[in-house]
Every structure is written in C-alpha cells, then in structure tokens.
C-alpha cells in the first residue's frame, strides 16, 4: 500500500470518528426533545414523528450542494432521523403486507429501518391497526401513475377519523421471479396493478401463461417460493426475502412508473411551507353544481392537482368527489374555499394536510 493511500485512509478514519461523535451528540438532543414532549396528549409514537419537522431537516441538509448528491443525503439522513426517533420511542407503522411489498419499501423510505413495522393483509386492516393503537401510523397505497387510484384506500379514508399526515412517492421497478433459472412457467402471480403494468412484456414472453391476481406482489413471490411451474411479478426485495431468482428486471411497460402512498395517523400535521391537502365532498343534486364547486377553488386561488369521483355506495347514482390541492388546511385562502364549498355541498370532509412528497 502506498504512503499516500495510507494517509488518505487515516484521514477518513479521523472523519468517521468525528461523525460518530456528532451522531452521538445528535442522539442526546433527541432524548432532550423526548423529555420536552412528555406533556402532549398523543401516543408516544405519534408525538415523536413530526412530518413537517422532518421535511424541514431534509430541506436544511440538501440546501447546499454535496458531492454525495441530494438523494444520497436524504437516504442517509432518513436513517439518522429514524435512529434518533427510535431513541425517543420506537415508531410502530403498519403496512400493506406481507414483507417486501412496495408498501413495506415505502414505509422504510419514510420511517427508516429503525422503525417497528407491522404487516397487514388489507388497507382496512392497516387502518384498524392504527385506530386500535396497536400501530402509531399506517402506510397504504393510494395511486399509481399508470393504473390510477386504489379505490379501497379512498373509500376507507372517508369513513375513518384518522388523517393523512404524509405522502410517499416510490418508483416502481417490477421483476420477473421464479424458483428455477430454467423453469417452465404455466402460471404468473401478482397484484392486479402489477399485472396491468407489465401487460406488454408478459404478452410477448409468456402469451399462454395463466395470470393469477393475488393480494400483493410479495404474496405472489411467497406463493411461487412453494410452487413449481410458476413465476411472480414482484420487487427485487421480494426475491431476496423469498429466495427466488430474478429472471428479468424492469419488466414494467413504462419507465415512469410511480406509486403514491399515504401515511395515516391520529395526528394533524402542521404546515411545512410546501403542503398538499386532500378533500372529499358530495355536491347538491342540481344543474351546474360541480361547476359551482370547482369555481370556488378558482376564486380562492387554490391550485387543484387532482380530481376524481367514486360512488358513495349509500344512494344510487350519487357520487363523492375527491380532490387534492396545494396548500395547508390552515391557509386563509383554503379556509375560505372550504367554508364556501360547505354552503354548496351536502358533505365535505378534509382527509388531511401533509408535506408534499
């Protein structure tokens, strides 16, 4: 080893020790924060996780250029925040399972690997875990950039008292997994959205295979690990957990394939400066009612980013509208817009305000 390389490595070792000391110092501050929060009414896990504050921390560390790059810094600091949060109280987060689903990956992306994660079999079960207090937060998929909304999640959010307190955007790369590198594939398992996302690739390579929808991509991988003549469309993480071969990576039809997830909990998130609000409403049954409702947002300078409708399931041909818009429920223009909307609707419910992903 050259003298120069030895000196560089000594310098790295010195810096690493300094970083470790600073991380220890940061951990002590986190414990002081925990003491300062002891008089709050929420559960301990809910108090510890403050989305607006964590957004501010990530903004601070990426405000100047780094040789590591913004994404790498965010990943590193997510883990630092996670470890410090765990010193206060472990945050328990339920997710749409089993292990290695994209919901699981989204939960880790948001809470870091120091969190305590609880798999659930349906979005409703995730909600029940949080409502019962067994989990502090839940992570559920709400929308895919190619396949649209997850209707079960939208319906669920209207019925619960829980609030959306954060959103996560996760890039989705689907892989083709099997037990054997040269396996004959007669059946392909996956979630309905994943099967749709990979329709062209599957049609080209396995036109005669039976496509079998299951509750999640990870469930598909779990099934294939116990079956012959079958394959799964799932994540690279699922391949590792269920000991499967990756026959092909990136088989989704679109390179720009993202899924949006909501973090739901018992807290209301404070403004972060770059927020989004989700709202549900039912308009009065009269000509021009929807036009009047949308004009309210325009008049109050509220920027709608999404609108869609769902049957209310309570009255034939009655629809509920779901909208997302930029801003926080405490912003004055939004307060005015919602007040006006309430006067022209039979039902209005804020589903939550949260930092934009």
**Which active-site residues does the annotation give?**
259, 261
Ramachandran quadrant class, 209 (left: phi over 0; alpha: psi -120 to 50; beta: rest): beta
Three-class secondary structure of residue 273 per DSSP:
coil
Beta bridge partners of 140: 262
Q: How many CA atoms lie within 13 A of 163 on its CB side?
A: 18
Q: How far apart are CA 52 and CA 269, in angstroms?
A: 7
Q: How far is CA 330 from CA 54, 234, 275, in A?
A: 19, 40, 11
Q: How far is CA 285 from CA 159, 290, 334, in A?
A: 22, 9, 24
**Where would I find the H helices in 140-207?**
151-159, 192-197, 199-205
Question: Long-range contacts made by residues 39-43, C-beta under 8 angstroms, separation at least 24?
Answer: 42/266, 42/267, 43/133, 43/136, 43/266
**Where would I find the H helices in the chain?**
3-36, 44-48, 51-61, 70-88, 102-111, 123-131, 151-159, 192-197, 199-205, 217-224, 236-241, 289-299, 332-343
| Cβ count within 10 A of residue 350 | 16
Q: How far apart are CA 19 and CA 12, in angstroms?
A: 10
Q: How far apart are CA 57 and CA 46, in angstroms?
A: 18
Element (H, E) at 188: strand 187-190
- DSSP state, residue 342: H
Tokens of 274: 């770059």
Reply yes or no: is the peptide bond before residue 229 cis, omega within 30 of 0.
no
């Amino acid at each position: 080893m050259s003298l120069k390389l030895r000196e560089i490595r000594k310098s790295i070792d010195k810096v690493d020790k300094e970083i470790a000391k600073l991380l220890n110092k940061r951990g002590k501050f986190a414990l002081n924060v925990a003491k300062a929060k002891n008089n709050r009414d929420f559960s301990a896990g809910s108090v510890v996780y403050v989305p607006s504050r964590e957004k501010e921390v990530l903004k601070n560390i990426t405000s100047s250029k780094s040789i590591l790059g913004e994404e790498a810094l965010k990943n590193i600091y997510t883990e630092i925040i996670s470890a410090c949060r765990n010193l206060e109280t472990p945050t328990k987060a339920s997710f749409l399972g089993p292990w290695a689903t994209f919901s699981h990956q989204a939960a880790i992306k948001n809470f870091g690997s120091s969190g305590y994660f609880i798999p659930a079999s349906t979005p409703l079960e995730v909600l029940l875990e949080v409502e019962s207090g067994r989990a502090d937060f839940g992570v559920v998929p709400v929308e895919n950039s190619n396949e649209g909304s997850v209707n079960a999640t939208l319906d669920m959010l209207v019925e619960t008292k829980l609030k959306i307190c954060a959103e996560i955007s996760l890039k989705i790369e689907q892989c083709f997994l099997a037990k054997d590198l040269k396996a004959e594939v007669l059946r392909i398992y996956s979630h309905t959205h994943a099967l749709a996302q990979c329709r062209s690739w599957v049609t080209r390579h396995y036109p005669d295979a039976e496509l079998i929808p299951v509750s999640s991509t990870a469930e598909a991988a779990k099934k294939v690990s116990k079956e012959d003549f079958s394959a799964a469309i799932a994540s690279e993480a699922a391949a590792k957990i269920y000991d499967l071969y990756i026959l092909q990576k990136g088989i989704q039809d679109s390179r720009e394939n993202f899924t949006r997830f909501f973090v739901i909990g018992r807290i209301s998130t404070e403004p972060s400066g770059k927020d989004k609000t989700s709202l549900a409403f039912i308009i009065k049954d009269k000509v021009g009612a929807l036009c009047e409702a949308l004009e309210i947002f325009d008049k109050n300078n509220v920027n709608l980013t999404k609108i869609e409708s769902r049957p209310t399931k309570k009255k034939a041909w009655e629809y509920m509208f779901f909208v997302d818009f930029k801003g926080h429920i405490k912003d004055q223009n939004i307060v005015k817009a919602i007040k006006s909307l309430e006067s022209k609707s039979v039902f209005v419910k804020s589903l939550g305000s949260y930092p934009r992903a």
